[in-house]
């Protein structure tokens, strides 16, 4: 990673303080950065560190009938529900909308089983724009 800073300083003091967006950019630097940032131990460390510092957020879904579309947004968990981010929702449902089954550590589970069960389950991490 660096010839000037010990690896321990990078791993324990610098990288865990970066935002997810910045960390995703860092994965393109080199193979060792990619391996470190995508490792389960680093992800767990980053998640636990940021969970203690960041205020809670709420995921809200808005459905419009014309045109039939779903919109998702994230808001601060406070009395005024201040805006945090508008999310790009790249999915299209066979039914009227997706059902939010649940979420854990920023990963949202969606199901397309409102009217007819079509066996579509999506695990979506909107912060890193990944679908599982």
**Pairwise CA distance, residues 79 & 61, whole Å:** 18
d(CA 7, CA 128): 25
Residue 31 within a domain: yes
Largest Cα span, the chain: 59
Whether the CB-CB separation of 83 and 66 falls below 8 Å is answered with no
How many percent of the chain have pLDDT more than 90? 0
Question: Strands (DSSP E) along 46-118, which ranges?
Answer: 57-64, 69-76, 83-87, 99-104, 107-111
* 26 shares a domain with 11: yes
90 and 37 together in one domain: no
Q: Are residues 42 and 66 in the same domain?
A: no
What domain range includes position 125? 57-131
Predicted structure pTM score: 0.59
pLDDT tens sequence across 23-81: 888 888 888 888 888 888 888 888 777 665 566 778 787 777 777 677 788 888 888 88
Q: Give the pLDDT score at 100.
A: 82
């Amino acid at each position: 990673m660096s010839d000037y800073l010990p690896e321990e300083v990078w791993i324990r003091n610098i990288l865990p303080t970066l935002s997810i967006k910045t960390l995703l950019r860092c994965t393109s630097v080199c193979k060792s950065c990619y391996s470190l940032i995508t490792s389960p131990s680093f992800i767990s460390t980053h998640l636990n560190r940021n969970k203690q510092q960041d205020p809670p957020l709420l995921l809200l879904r808005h459905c419009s009938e014309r045109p039939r579309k779903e919109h998702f947004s994230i808001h601060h968990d406070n009395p005024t529900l201040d805006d945090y981010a508008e999310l790009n929702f790249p999915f299209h449902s066979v039914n009227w909308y997706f059902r939010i089954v649940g979420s854990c550590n920023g990963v949202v589970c969606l199901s397309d089983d409102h009217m007819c069960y079509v066996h579509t389950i999506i695990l979506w991490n909107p912060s890193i724009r990944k679908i599982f």
